Structures are given as C-alpha cells and as structure tokens.
C-alpha cells in the first residue's frame, strides 16, 4: 500500500499493489452500537496525576471504542460517587445501567499516585472487581488503559487490549515541494503518547512487531534503495538484515520470532522468502513469474498467506511456510490484498477492492464467508488488536484521512487522535502483540 508521495518509486510490486491517497488527518465520529453492555464510568475523585483528562474519560473512551459497551455520557449522570459508600444503586438502575465503575486518585509522594477503582453489578448491587494501581505522572494514561482492560476482562471473559501499543508511519511536509519527513512512530493503542522511533527524508514502510513486542522490523529507503531493518525499542539499536539487489520488502515475523518472511527480487522477480534470523539463511517459498508479496504467518507458523497477481489481479493465496503449491483463498471482488490473521487464526482481514472502492473485509477461514466491514472508498493496511476485538487500519473519507479503529463486529468505527502536522499523513499501522 502506498500514497502519491511514493508514486515515483520504481519498485514494481509497490506500484501494482498500491492505493493512492492524500489528505489531512482527522477524527471520525463513533458509530452507534447495538446489543452492547450498558456501563457508567463515573469521573474519578482526587488529583489525576498529571493527566489532562480524568482517568474515567480515558477508560470510557477505551470501552466505547471496543464496540462491546454502551457507555453512559457524563452529562446524563445524576450523581458522581467516588467511594463505595456513596453509591446509590437505584439511581443507576433507573438510568438503565447494568454496570458501574467508580474510582479515586490520591497522591502518595513526589510524582507518585495511586488509583483505586471498583466495578459493580448495578442491577444486583454487588462488587465485581476492585484494584489499586500505583503510577507516576508519565504513566497516568497507561494506568487508565490497564483499568479498562480489567473491566473488559471481568465483563466479557476476554483479555483487553487497551494497554497495548500501535506503530505507524507519518509523513510530514517540508519547505519544498518534494521535501518530506518520514517518521516511524509508536503510540498508545488510542493514538496518544506518540514516540518517534526513526525518521528519514526517504520513505519508511511496512512496520511489523516482533511476537514479544520488543522489536519492530521495517523497510527504509534511507540509502536510496530498500533495506529491511530490525530495531529494538528499548535501546533504539537497529540492525540491517537485508539489502539485496532489487526489492527488500514486506517483513513479517514468524509466531516464534525466529524467522522473518519477506519479499525479495534478488533473482529477478518478487518472490516470498523466509529468513532464519539466527544464521541469516534464506529459504525461497514461492516461484512464479507473477508478483508475490505481503506475506502473513498463520498462528501455528505452518502457512503463509500472501498477495499475488498470478491469476491476473491481486488476490490472496496460501502456501506452506516450507514451500509448496500455493492455493488461492479469495475469489470475491477484483482485488484482495494485505492479509492479516486474527489472533485466534480463525479470520483473515484484508483490503477488498470492488468497483474502484477499497474497503476492509474479513474472511472466515472455516466457512470462507467474506464480510465487508467499512464503507470507505480508500481503506488499507488492516491489523488486529492482540485480543482480536478491534482492527486498526488507514482510511480516507473525502478530504478526511488518518488512522481508524474498527470493532471486529463492524459496529463501531473511530478515528485515532494522531497528529502529524497540519497537512501530514499517517499510514501503514500495525498493532502490537
């Protein structure tokens, strides 16, 4: 996937499988939710530990974005208890709330705070969970995300993903027409607290998280030719793992973190290879005159899904990670690309093109049923949350563009608060494990 700013690149696989777009970033409006869990998160009492927002508003936004909860607006709350003794359950039942979260923050030292939180079944009047989380000013938002994860786990039985992170590439304009700055960013899952990992006047593409969340592989054109790097986030140390003649692109980690699938054209045609990261040895997986790219590992590491135009148009194929005869797995529409497996391996998200529109779709791997989830005309780069509840993707709607999250049930879509400059772009998002 690529935008107009990279259209001049000569790499054929990028050009063939590209969707052009350019616009300013924005924030979409959350769509309505049906059959979701009613919950009220009351503003926390006490100092908030340096956060510009009350912890409760961060928690509420997390839950709403998941598509599993219907969060009561603060303006509709009839009371604002912060301790269990202040709770009147009749009030919340009258408001139609099945669940209630309250909390308070106290300062425990210089730049030290503690958030105390309780979750109640408002119908039965019983406590479901409570927690006490110490944190510093810099950790205030992370603490709110952790509380949201506790609520999500308690009420759905599934792990939350609000305390995870996302990676993406921003493109900021410079003073000249062709003067741009590319930056690989890592941020909280809601788009806040962005940290620049690497920046360059040349394109950066295809960030991919290691399974342990400690490293990111990506493609950089900083030497005027594509190379694949692996960078350790804690130390900022990085290592170039591939700069062979031709294309070096689309890195994807194996589930055990010992191998990297990638696209290379060292032998003249873009093919899928697997690199052993210990010995840097290469194993060729595909062998066809078509363009094969964008590999994605199955959760057991036995299969690779990739994009190929061997049937005339870009479609998704599956092949054993050790090599073999690929099998086509997508047939609806005239374009299916950028496959991404759900954490349980049961679904495959992709960019689905039909009639000139490019939308995010999900394929059920067992039934082969395809569901188109987004209404946009230029959506790309889907990536599942580590619990499978949401999909992160790049989107454009008219003159509005940026990164969005989509609940996996397709009921909620929301833009992320990502700032890349007045005329900047954000692209190629990837959700951490």
- Predicted local confidence at residue 410, as pLDDT: 74
- Predicted local confidence at residue 407, as pLDDT: 82
- Predicted local confidence at residue 66, as pLDDT: 86
- Predicted local confidence at residue 65, as pLDDT: 86
Residue 390 has pLDDT above 50, yes or no: yes
Residues 130-146 pLDDT 10s: 999 999 999 999 999 99
- Predicted local confidence at residue 30, as pLDDT: 43
Residue 21 has pLDDT above 80, yes or no: no
Residue 67 has pLDDT above 90, yes or no: no
- Predicted local confidence at residue 225, as pLDDT: 95
Residues 206-222 pLDDT 10s: 999 999 999 999 999 99
**Structural domains of the chain ordered from first start:** 4-30+164-431 (2.120.10.30), 37-156 (3.40.50.10070)
- Predicted local confidence at residue 408, as pLDDT: 84
- Predicted local confidence at residue 404, as pLDDT: 87
Residue 237 has pLDDT above 70, yes or no: yes
Query: Where is average pLDDT lowest: 22-26, 167-171, 366-370?
Result: 22-26
Cα–Cα distance, 100 to 129 (Å, whole number): 11
- Predicted local confidence at residue 307, as pLDDT: 98
Residues 99-120 pLDDT 10s: 999 999 999 999 999 999 999 9
pLDDT band at residue 381 under the 50/70/90 scheme: very high
Global confidence as pTM: 0.89
Residues 401-424 pLDDT 10s: 588 888 887 777 666 655 555 557
- Predicted local confidence at residue 429, as pLDDT: 95
């Amino acid at each position: 996937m690529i935008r107009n700013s990279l259209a001049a690149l000569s790499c054929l696989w990028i050009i063939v499988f590209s969707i052009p777009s350019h616009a300013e970033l924005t924030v979409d409006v959350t769509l309505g939710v049906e059959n979701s869990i009613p919950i009220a998160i009351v503003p926390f009492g006490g100092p908030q530990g340096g956060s510009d927002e009350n912890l409760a508003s961060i928690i509420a936004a997390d839950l709403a974005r998941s598509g599993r909860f219907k969060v009561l607006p603060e303006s509709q709350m009839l009371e604002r208890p912060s301790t269990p003794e202040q709770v009147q359950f009749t009030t919340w039942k009258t408001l139609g709330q099945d669940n209630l979260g309250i909390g308070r923050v106290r300062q425990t030292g210089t730049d030290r705070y503690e958030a105390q939180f309780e979750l109640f079944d408002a119908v039965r009047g019983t406590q479901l969970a409570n927690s006490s989380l110490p944190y510093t000013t810099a950790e205030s938002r992370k603490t709110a995300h952790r509380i949201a994860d506790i609520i999500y786990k308690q009420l759905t039985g599934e792990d939350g993903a609000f305390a995870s992170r996302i990676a993406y590439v921003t493109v900021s304009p410079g003073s000249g027409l062709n003067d741009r700055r590319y930056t690989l960013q890592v941020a909280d899952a809601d788009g806040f607290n962005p940290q620049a990992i690497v920046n360059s006047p040349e394109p950066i593409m295809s960030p991919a998280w290691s399974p342990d969340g400690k490293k990111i592989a990506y493609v950089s054109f900083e030497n005027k030719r594509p190379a694949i790097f692996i960078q350790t986030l804690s130390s900022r140390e990085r290592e170039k793992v591939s700069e062979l003649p031709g294309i070096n692109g689309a890195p994807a980690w194996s589930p055990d973190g010992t191998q990297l699938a990638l696209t290379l054209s060292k032998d003249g045609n873009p093919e899928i290879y697997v690199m052993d990261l210990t010995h840097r040895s290469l194993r060729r997986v595909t062998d066809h005159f078509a363009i094969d790219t964008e590999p994605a590992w199955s959760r057991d590491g036995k299969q690779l899904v990739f994009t190929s135009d061997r049937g005339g148009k870009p479609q998704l194929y599956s092949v054993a990670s050790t090599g073999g005869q690929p099998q086509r797995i997508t047939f609806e529409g005239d374009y299916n690309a950028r496959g991404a497996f759900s954490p349980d391996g049961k679904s495959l998200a992709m960019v689905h093109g039909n009639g000139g529109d490019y939308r995010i779709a999900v394929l059920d791997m067992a039934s082969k049923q395809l569901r188109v989830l987004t209404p946009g005309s230029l959506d790309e780069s889907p990536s599942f949350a580590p619990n499978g509840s949401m999909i992160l993707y790049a989107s454009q709607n008219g003159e509005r563009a940026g990164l969005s999250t989509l609940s996996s049930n397709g009921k909620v879509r929301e833009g992320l608060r990502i700032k890349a400059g007045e005329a900047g772009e954000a692209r190629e998002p990837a959700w951490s494990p």
